[in-house]
Each structure stands twice: as C-alpha cells, then as structure tokens.
Structure 1
C-alpha cells in the first residue's frame, strides 16, 4: 500500500500543530506580569493556566470525537472562529475573572492538533505511521516549548496583552492556509452525536492498553506541567529574572523535543515497553536534578532537556500503541487518551502551584518525582501486557 501522506502535507500538519497548541502556553511565562497588572496573587493568577488546560481537556472530549462523524474542514472553520475571538477577548481582559473565562475558551478551541495527529496516522501506511506521528508531535512539542520563549520575550518588552493580540493575527493567517491546503476527509460514522459520545465509554471499558496508556500520559504531562507552571516563580524568587528568561528555557526544551522524530522511528524497531521505561527514568532523573538546582541555571537547563525528552518518549509511544488499534475510531481513542493527558496536566498545574505556595521548589520537585515514579512502577508491574 503506497503512503498517502506526502511530506509537504505532513510538515504542514506538524507546523500547524505547533502554532495552534502554542495558544495553550503563552500565558505561563506571563503569569507574574499578569498578576502585577491585574493586582492579584500568584495563586490566583495560576488559575489562568489551570482554566486553559481544563478547557483543552473538555474541548478534546466534546470536539475531537466529531472527527469520526463530520468533515475535518467543517470543524476547522467553526473552531478557528471561536479561537480567534477568544484570543482577542484575553488581550482585552481587564479582570482576572474575564481572563480566566477567555483562557478557558482558548483551551477549548485549541484542540485542532489532536485532529492532525490522527489525520497523519490515517493517511500513513503501517510502516510510516510511527515516523508521521513523530514528525507531527515534533511540531506540536516545539510549539509548546517555543510558545514560552516567544511569549516571554514579547511580554517582557511589549506587555502581556500584545502576546494575545499577536496570536489572534497568526491564527487568522493560519486559518486561510489550512483552508486552502488540507485534504477533505469524510468520516464513516453515521450514528447520532449521542451514540458517538457513548462509544467513548465502550472503547475505554474494553481496551486495557488504552486505559494504561492514558494513565501513563496523564502522569507524564502532570509532571511536566508542574515544572513549567512554577518555573516563572522560581526564576523571579531565586534569580530575579523576568518572563523573558523563564520563557527562554523553552529553547532548551526544544532540543529535547527534536528527538520526537527519532522516538517515532524507534517505535518500529525497539520494544515499546522499553521506550516507556526509558522515558520514565529520564523524567525521574530530571526531577532529581531540579530538586538540587533551585539556585543553579545549568542544572535547570539539563533538567529541561531531560524532562521533555522523557515525556515525549512516553507520549509518542503511547500514541503509537493506541492508534495501531481501532483504525475506524482513531479520533475517539485519541480523545480518551488526550483527555486523560490534559487532566493530568491540570492536576499537575494545580498541585505544583499548591506545593510552591507551601513548600517552595522542594515541594514542586516532590510532586514531579511522585508523578514520574508512578509511571515507572505501573510499567514495571504491567510489563509487555500494556503494549
């Protein structure tokens, strides 16, 4: 069977995934600036990041399953309209409440990359699927990390509102490009939306590998979110640095994220349970380094590279596992997996913020170690049965 996914379309999906998912993370390096601007506490402003992640999880739950029922282009058109309006609303927010609401909507509508990943899997043959997922995930991960760099720099010199205005303009341009270049995919599911949503429970209940992959993904992303949400506070308190430096750490994470393509290719050659164990060990090692590096920039840099490489090793392997089954329902199984993934991120954000408020960086590091330690324990207990 020839590969139906040309490189030009594959890289467009990768770049688009990165640009859209970046909307979820622009606020993280800006939290301290937003708190000062709106006269709220660090604890209150952390709800901006939390509401974005909760919105994303709910968007995954209610929007992405539609990829198995209605055309991808119809979803793109409606979703982009709401996203652009939400970004403008965030830029114009004069209260923390309004910013939390608009951030929720930004998260809710920034779900399109989770249509792009199953699309790449759908258009690829079996041999090229791991590579395709890895390339799209590289774009997505670079978007996550690069967004922090960009927003930190722009926020430092032009103010946090300019970040959201710029994002709205960028999404407008991207919409026209995708509308011109994306292939139209007509899904086969002909039942009602209620039956579509009900089938999510069927797949979750009958697929133990999907449940375990979801647990691993949630713990990995929870660990990562605890780090990125609190890094800006550590930079301010321990080093006196602003949002530009905190966001700049994303550059070092990008070095790890570039390994996503390699991890995708390794999925075709290396036992998947070994890749998951490797990823868990890298995350644990990164948190040990973070724990002793509250006053060491070099230690934090090394930890950032390791944690991003570890998380993507777990994440890409998880996705390759779940996409290899139930080919007629890839958007739905991806929904289940990614909802769990971002619920884990929201929990990590919340627990990381609480740990920072009560126990400072040591508390945050303990949260990260617990999350990553559970991944390793679960994988060692379940072994090859999980893949």
Structure 2
C-alpha cells in the first residue's frame, strides 16, 4: 500500500469514529436545544454505541463477501445520512434515530482496517495497521476538541454538518483512488457469520480478545472518569480546558506507531507484555490528579501509548493468522473492545462516587493487571518471531 492510501484510510477511520464521540462534549447544548433532561442526555451517546455494536456483528463480516471498496464508500454515505438526520433533528427521537444510524454504519472503520490488513504485504502489515488505526485514536480524542470548538462558534448542529460533508467527500475519494478489491470472497452471508462464531473457540482469538476487553476497560476508566476530578477542587477546570487533555492522549497514542514496525519484526507478543506493564504503571501517575496536573499528563500519555501499542499488536497477530477473513476477525475482536469500553465507563463513575479518583485509579490499574495476567498465561500462543504459517496453525487449534 502507498503512503497516500494509508493516510486516506486513516482519515476515513478518524472521521467515521468521530460521528460517535463528537456528541460527548456538546451534550449540554443538544439538551438545551431539544429540551432533553440531564438524565436523558446519556441516551444520545448510548444510541450511537448500540448502533456500532450491532454493526460489528452484522455489517463488518460483509467485507469477506463483497468488494470492500464499494462497501466502504456505501457505508460512508449511509453514515452521512445518519449524521444529516441528527443535524436537522427537531425532536429527541429523530436525534436518537440519526445517531443510531450513524453509529451502525460507522463500523466502516473496522471494514477499512480489515481491508488495509488484507491488501498489505505480510512484512509491512504492522506498519500499515499502526498508521491506519492511528486515525481511530485521532477520531476518538480529537473529536472532543474539534466538536467543542465548532459548537462554541456555530452551535452543535455545525458539528454534524461538518461531519456529513467530510463523509461524502471521503466516499467519492474511495471510489476514485482505491482499486477494486481483488480479495473479495464469494461466501454466503450465513457462512460468514458461522465462521465468525467459530473464532470464539480459538485460543489466539480468545486470549487477544480478553486482553482487548481489559485493555479498553482501563482506557474507558480514564477517559470516562477524567472530567470528575478535574471539575472538582482544587482545579475547577472548564469543559474546554478538560478537552485539551485529549491532546496529551493523542500524542501518546501516535507515539505508539512504532509498535507496527516491531510487530512486523516478530515482536508482537513482547510488545504486548511490555506495553501492558506500562499501562498498569501509568495509573500511578494518573492517580495523582488531585494535586499534580503534570503527573496526570504523563500518565495520560503513557496510558494511550500503551493502549495503542497493544491494540496494533493484537490486530497484527489476528489478521496474520486469518488473512483470508480479516473483516470477520476484526469485527469479532472489536466486540471485546466495545464491551470493555462500556464496562470501564460505567464502573469508573460508580467507583468515583464511593472512593474518589483514587478508587477509580485502582480500578483502572486492576483492569490493566488483568490484561497482563491474560497475556502471561497465554504467551505460548503467540511467541516472538513466530511465522505466519505457525501462527495460522496455532489459531486453528480449538479450546478444549
């Protein structure tokens, strides 16, 4: 893959995932405009996430059946439809429907990642995944900053209007610049779904999935709970100021791009273990948020570096062992991501109400240590330097 095509795929990932996360910093504006109470605002974010979860199960596997070039362009346009509905919504139920539709087709992110892995040469697959998935991080973290700025200047509807324009432009760029998918399979939909279910009997998939589950639970514990200590004494930071911490996370995640090179060199398993140890250690710095913003920034950078390094390594191993069904394996793997992120978000706020930020930090560290324990017990599955053929053979062995 050329660098230009990798950057295009990374941009698709960033814009698509932003359709889900852009609502978070502008919920108050949306609520005031549509007359939604504080308790009901959470459903706007939840609707997008539920749509995304459904898409992971039923839409991403389509990439193993049909031309992913057309699939990516089509899903980008359908995501734009959902975004336009949200931008023009005058009632709450219309807003929820638009966000849900956008979330459903925003799984084009995973179709894009799977396509990038499928068309990459084996010796550069990790580098490709590192760059393309960096777009996901840019979308998740950058959306908070950009959406807040746009909403302040032109209102919350401008956020969705801008996203719609970008999605439509990207769809046409895909049709013009991306070649026909020569890797498109001819399997039936039922067969593809059945194949996805079989993944849950493979040792490599289960171990990497569980690592992702705890990894993103730790990630969710930070980013869903970080505003709580920063809004409180002694900082009393504004929403815009809190959003700037996303830049620190972005710097850490982009710094993990090198993980793809290490994965290509056969070090994916070693990188996973080292990064998970860093993830656990990062919470020692993050826990000091009540008295030191500098230590918090260091913790945020290290945590996001570690999360991205592990995420790239996981996807490299899984796509290398399932090169003929990358869409199915990526879609199924991301289910662990979705559930883990949701768990982290729900539990960190509950723990904070009882034990403060110290309790939330202990929770985040516990998730990280759990991921490290899964890696330690399953490291025989993916040893550094393993060949693709050996990896495929190991992935094919079923759990007893």
Q: Same fold (TM over 0.5)?
A: yes
Does residue 282 of structure 1 match 2:278? Answer: yes
Does residue 30 of structure 1 match 2:9? Answer: no
* C-alpha distance in structure 2 between counterparts of 1:32 and 1:296, whole Å: 28
Does residue 343 of structure 1 match 2:342? Answer: no
**Structure-1 residue corresponding to 2:395:** none
Contact 1:65 1:331 in 2 (8 A): yes
**Structure-1 residue corresponding to 2:37:** 40
User: Alpha-carbon deviation of 1:360?
Assistant: 4.2
Does residue 83 of structure 1 match 2:88? Answer: no
- DSSP 3-state at the match of 2:107: coil
**Structure-2 residue corresponding to 1:315:** 311
* C-alpha distance in structure 1 between counterparts of 2:31 and 2:2, whole Å: 45
- DSSP 3-state at the match of 2:321: coil
**Structure-1 residue corresponding to 2:226:** 231
* C-alpha distance in structure 2 between counterparts of 1:178 and 1:274, whole Å: 36
* C-alpha distance in structure 2 between counterparts of 1:360 and 1:347, whole Å: 18
- DSSP 3-state at the match of 2:280: helix
**Structure-2 residue corresponding to 1:260:** 256
**Structure-1 residue corresponding to 2:265:** 269
**Structure-1 residue corresponding to 2:107:** 111
Query: C-alpha deviations, 1:73-102, integer Å up to 9, x for none?
Result: 332343223211221232344565554443
Contact 1:68 1:332 in 2 (8 A): yes
Contact 2:6 2:132 in 1 (8 A): yes
Does residue 52 of structure 1 match 2:48? Answer: yes
Structure 2 CA distance for partners of 1:219 and 1:170, relative to 1, 3 Å: same
Aligned ranges 1:13-28 → 2 under 5 Å: 13-28=9-24
Structure 2 CA distance for partners of 1:279 and 1:196, relative to 1, 3 Å: same
* C-alpha distance in structure 2 between counterparts of 1:288 and 1:65, whole Å: 40
Does residue 221 of structure 1 match 2:212? Answer: no
Query: C-alpha deviations, 1:139-158, integer Å up to 9, x for none?
Result: 22222222122112223343
* C-alpha distance in structure 2 between counterparts of 1:311 and 1:31, whole Å: 27
**Structure-2 residue corresponding to 1:193:** 189
Contact 2:68 2:181 in 1 (8 A): yes
* C-alpha distance in structure 2 between counterparts of 1:247 and 1:91, whole Å: 22
Structure 2 CA distance for partners of 1:288 and 1:85, relative to 1, 3 Å: same
Query: C-alpha deviations, 1:324-374, integer Å up to 9, x for none?
Result: 112111111111111221221122222233334554433432331221121
**Structure-2 residue corresponding to 1:130:** 126
Aligned ranges 1:199-218 → 2 under 5 Å: 199-205=195-201, 207-218=202-213
**Structure-1 residue corresponding to 2:365:** 369
Query: C-alpha deviations, 1:135-184, integer Å up to 9, x for none?
Result: 11222222222212211222334333322222122212222222211221
With normalisation by structure 2, the TM-score equals: 0.87
* C-alpha distance in structure 2 between counterparts of 1:28 and 1:358, whole Å: 24
**Structure-1 residue corresponding to 2:173:** 177
* C-alpha distance in structure 2 between counterparts of 1:236 and 1:159, whole Å: 23
- DSSP 3-state at the match of 2:142: helix
**Structure-2 residue corresponding to 1:244:** 240
* C-alpha distance in structure 1 between counterparts of 2:49 and 2:113, whole Å: 19
Contact 2:218 2:364 in 1 (8 A): yes
* C-alpha distance in structure 2 between counterparts of 1:349 and 1:91, whole Å: 26
Gaps spanning 5+ residues in structure 2: where? 384-400
- DSSP 3-state at the match of 1:349: helix
With normalisation by structure 1, the TM-score equals: 0.90
* C-alpha distance in structure 2 between counterparts of 1:384 and 1:293, whole Å: 38
**Structure-2 residue corresponding to 1:6:** 2
